[in-house]
């Protein structure tokens, strides 16, 4: 089982998430009642939808992570899964996203970062 499959297996059983087709048409999505939260695009690349406030609040930490890739102006962050720690990071960020979207009206997410991020493998 690859890292994205491992992350998906852990997340799709969360009661606030359900699987479906992503709006970008590639891979599989997990969505909450508030909209699409996660897109699994490949064995290692996952896009995560965060609120603008969350990105601003944690921008420095997100930029310092070798697993996170930000696209200016996008509320999606790309998480490149290279190890189990990256999977744990993704799960933590999904939890943060779900909490941030609580109490907000459902919205349709703008285009994710698929094909907008080129990830160079570490090491």
Count of CA atoms in the C-beta half-sphere (13 A) of 103: 2
Residue 123 has pLDDT above 60, yes or no: no
Q: Could you tell me the pTM of the whole model?
A: 0.87
pLDDT one-digit tens code per residue, 55-101: 999 999 999 999 999 988 889 999 999 999 999 999 999 999 999 88
Residue 120 in tokens: 């160079």
Binning pLDDT at 50, 70 and 90, where does residue 21 land? Answer: very high
pLDDT one-digit tens code per residue, 93-104: 999 999 988 876
104 close to 16: Cβ distance less than 8 angstroms = no
d(CA 5, CA 87): 10
What does the pLDDT read at residue 114?
78
């Amino acid at each position: 089982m690859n890292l994205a499959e491992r992350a998906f297996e852990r997340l799709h059983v969360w009661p606030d998430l359900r699987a479906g087709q992503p709006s970008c048409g590639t891979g599989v999505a997990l969505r909450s009642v508030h909209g699409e939260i996660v897109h699994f695009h490949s064995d290692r690349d996952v896009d995560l939808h965060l609120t603008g406030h969350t990105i601003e609040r944690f921008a420095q930490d997100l930029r310092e992570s070798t697993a996170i890739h930000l696209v200016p102006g996008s509320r999606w962050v790309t998480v490149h899964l290279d190890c189990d720690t990256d999977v744990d990071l993704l799960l933590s960020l999904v939890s943060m996203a779900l909490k941030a979207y609580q109490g907000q009206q459902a919205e349709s997410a703008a285009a994710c970062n698929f094909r907008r991020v080129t990830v160079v493998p570490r090491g």
